[in-house]
Amino acid sequence: MSSIAPSFFKQPFRYMRWASVNKPAYFYSIVVGCIGPVMIFTVPPIRSYLGDEQRPRIPQTYPIPTGPRPRPEGFDDE
């Protein structure tokens, strides 16, 4: 097997095959990094098609109770 890397711009598919065998960490990290932005536009329509829109919304804040708050006693703070 030849260890000379093919040129990316002359033979892109041959280079990707070479890189996936000889430098898998770099190759697959680039593949996963390129898939991320594509997923931003493809995942929400697929989730709504599958019926995931009926899930309850996650609360963003803690609910503040109405009325006066009880004063803690018995801690000798005063």
pTM of the entire structure?
A: 0.52
Alpha-carbon distance of 26 to 69, in angstroms, equals 57
Nearest to 8 by CA among 36, 40, 16: 16
- Domain assignments of the chain as residue spans, ordered by start: 25-50
Q: pLDDT for 17-53, tens place per residue?
A: 999 999 999 999 999 999 999 999 998 888 888 887 7
pLDDT at res. 70? 81
DSSP at 45: H
Residue 1 pLDDT exceeds 90: no
Residue 15 pLDDT exceeds 80: yes
pLDDT at res. 2? 57
